Amino acid sequence: MFNFPTSPALGQKFTIGSKMWSWNGYAWDLQVVSRAAFDSYVQHVTGLEDEVTAATKYANALAGKEFYPFVLDYTLPPTSSTTAFVLPPVTVQFYKGKFDVPGMTYNAPTLMIVDVWINDAGAYVFEACAYDAYNSLPRHDNWLHMYRLQTSATKIQGIYQRFGTYPTIKRGVARPYGPTQFKDLYSIPTAYVNWVDGAAVTRGTVYKSAGGDLWKCEDGGVCASAPAAPTYEEDLNSGFSIEISGNAPFTFRGRSAYSGALRTSPRGGVQWYFANIAAGLMAGKCPVECKAHIQAALFHMADNWVPSAYYFDGSKVAGALTQGRVWEAQIAGQSGVASTFPAAAAINSMHVDGSVTWKCIGICAHTDLRMFWYDTEPTMRAARSPDSHDSYAATLVWAVWRYMDANPTDTAWLSVATKHPNGKTVLGLLQDILYFNLHTQLNGATLLSNTFQYNKVPGGGMYAANFFMDNCEVYAGFLAAERLWGNAAWGNNAPFSAYNATFKNDVLTGLESLWEKETGTYKYIAGLPSMAPTVPGKANFYPLCMSQAWGALWGVPLYSDRIEKCFKFMGTHYPMWWARNDMDDLLAFGSHYAHVLYSGSCTAKIESLRRAETERFKSDQADVYVMDIAYYISMRDSVIVRDLSYKA
């Protein structure tokens, strides 16, 4: 039991062991682990640059290195039971000077998304839009994004911090990102030993706690009990939290149920779409890890519950017999002869079914959804609803083809029975995945895939949309299927190969129908007006500009003059897309890699890489996403190692 002080003052600190807590006015916030403990251990973390303190970053910035605006001193705004948003005074640093911005109260509009900015004159600016139009909110390269608000009919129901508290200096890549770092930072370990309290531990070994967490020892020593859960520190340059057990430091590397999967970021969960892209791109350089991810993705697919079937730890079921919920097996065993899942089960509740123990991890409001995925939050203890069905399925099939293209003689695993209750092989499951997510989901009017199966969102409701970006990926998925089953040593099924080729050609027709001659762009969503502005320099990077590069990225044979016009549009309407964009948490290197693939000369490719490194890459950004590292490594190899003949 922690005996926190009563009636603490704002900002008061309280230390328990190696952890420090700070009172924020209504709760105790966990602070960075002991700086001495962190500094003494972070140098041992493989592939990470040395910690650069905020003071050093600030000094460097003031020494004349250009940086993006950041917050020097602030107090978090209080929660509100109304639409009144109370902004305390804040001190902010812009490249051209410092501003002491006075506090104020902003009465937010109801049922809206609101972005709160401080402009380069030191004044608050508020920009609002409806829920379904948040992508239309503008981005400002030289302003400071403070908060994003979400309001209900009566109050502010969400306050999301967007600002940083130290300068991000415009400089090139400082970290040695390559295959070694990709393996160490993103692949959830498949080799580990059980945690034993009081045992000697060795640097580099991964230990599994009784609860299934995987902890990598970053230096030798003697451990005590395993940490209860990972802690995420926002200002650690390394991207890891360091947990001290006994006298040994550990970093959280995932959960055993997700062994082999690729994490979204070094301190993130699993988002299958992003990870599938990374697995496909890195299949030649990291074949063991990418194959393990593909197998993990097949295993974690949610499907109908089956009676009297064996389920492994981590298996997921949904559908008509699970009472509108998604369940994950916590204790492996055989299911019962009939479904006994309770109605309206609470999230995180447990249920015993035969000899299987299930945990409710999410909602599946529609009973006819099959073979789809749920992402996870960073600790991998809870599920997050997927962003789509079509892209998740298409990128997985594409990743399998990329793996086989890079490792053409590794064929036996394709015909081995999987852990799915139906006992199908990898190729058999892929055929089912194609059927439920793509073959049956092409819109007859647009010839493009539905985002979700039958336009049904797993969490509830309907969402009917055919996206340009998704369908570039779907085209690549069908092309991959055509090649997989068309190869006699792999799928060896010529009729099924030809079947996928027919869908591929239909999707290409649908994509070309989105071309808008007046603006020189492809429409982002079929059936809706173009999002392209008429005034140069006024477009958003995402989704409009970013989407224009997607055809080149995924090798879709769109008309070449149109692809050229797409990149011209990006340069004209969002000239800063090389350096900064309006993606709050992503490097978004896909567009940069697409430009490398599109560029016809070595000089242009080298210039693309130079600009990506020097103008866009945030070397001190902790949450670098797995597909962005894969894009970057692929871009670098395409430019420096050899001019790759890209295969979508």
The predicted pLDDT at position 115 comes to 92
Whether 88 and 164 map to the same domain: the answer is yes
What CATH number did the domain enclosing 490 receive?
1.50.10.10
In a domain, 23, yes or no: no
The predicted pLDDT at position 23 comes to 66
Residue 534: band (very low, low, confident or very high) from pLDDT cuts 50, 70, 90: confident
Whether 557 and 418 map to the same domain: the answer is yes
Report the chain's mean pLDDT, rounded to a whole number. 85
Residue 241: band (very low, low, confident or very high) from pLDDT cuts 50, 70, 90: low
The predicted pLDDT at position 39 comes to 35
The predicted pLDDT at position 176 comes to 65
Whether 619 and 537 map to the same domain: the answer is yes
Report how many domains make up the chain. 3
Whether 456 and 349 map to the same domain: the answer is no
Whether 357 and 399 map to the same domain: the answer is no
Query: From the centroid of its chain, how far is CA 523?
Result: 24
Cα 41 from Cα 251, distance rounded (Å): 11
Asked whether the predicted pLDDT for residue 170 surpasses 70, the reply is no
Buried b (16+ CB within 10 A) or exposed e, 5-26: eeebeeeeebeeeebbbebeee
In a domain, 6, yes or no: no
| Its pTM surpasses 0.85 | no
In a domain, 239, yes or no: no
579-605: pLDDT as tens digits:
766 555 567 889 999 999 998 778 888
23-35: pLDDT as tens digits:
655 556 555 333 3
Higher pLDDT: 590 or 233? It is 590
Q: How far is CA 414 from CA 257, 404, 570, 622, in A?
A: 22, 10, 41, 36
Whether 516 and 589 map to the same domain: the answer is yes
Residue where one domain finishes, among candidates 169, 196, 230: 169
**To the nearest whole percent, how much of the chain has pLDDT over 70?**
82
Whether 367 and 457 map to the same domain: the answer is no
In a domain, 366, yes or no: yes
Asked whether the predicted pLDDT for residue 54 surpasses 50, the reply is no
Query: From the centroid of its chain, how far is CA 595?
Result: 22
Q: How many C-alpha atoms does 447 have within 13 Å on its Cβ side? A: 14
| 52 φ/ψ sector (left φ>0, alpha ψ -120 to 50, else beta) | beta
What CATH number did the domain enclosing 113 receive?
2.60.520
Cα 426 from Cα 420, distance rounded (Å): 10
Asked whether the predicted pLDDT for residue 451 surpasses 90, the reply is yes
Asked whether the predicted pLDDT for residue 116 surpasses 70, the reply is yes
315-348: pLDDT as tens digits:
999 988 999 999 999 999 999 999 999 999 999 9
Higher pLDDT: 139 or 399? It is 399
Asked whether the predicted pLDDT for residue 293 surpasses 80, the reply is yes
Whether 482 and 358 map to the same domain: the answer is no
In a domain, 139, yes or no: yes
Residue where one domain finishes, among candidates 384, 416, 432: 384
457-500: pLDDT as tens digits:
998 889 999 999 999 999 999 999 999 999 999 999 999 999 99
Whether 497 and 609 map to the same domain: the answer is yes
The range of the structural domain enclosing residue 295 comes to 291-384
Residue 266: band (very low, low, confident or very high) from pLDDT cuts 50, 70, 90: confident
Whether 527 and 595 map to the same domain: the answer is yes
- 200-204, 216-220, 522-526, 617-621: segment of lowest average pLDDT: 617-621
Whether 348 and 472 map to the same domain: the answer is no
Residue where one domain finishes, among candidates 136, 169, 202: 169
Backbone angles phi, psi at 430, to 5 degrees: -60, -35
Strands (E), 37-96: 67-68, 70-73, 84-87, 90-94
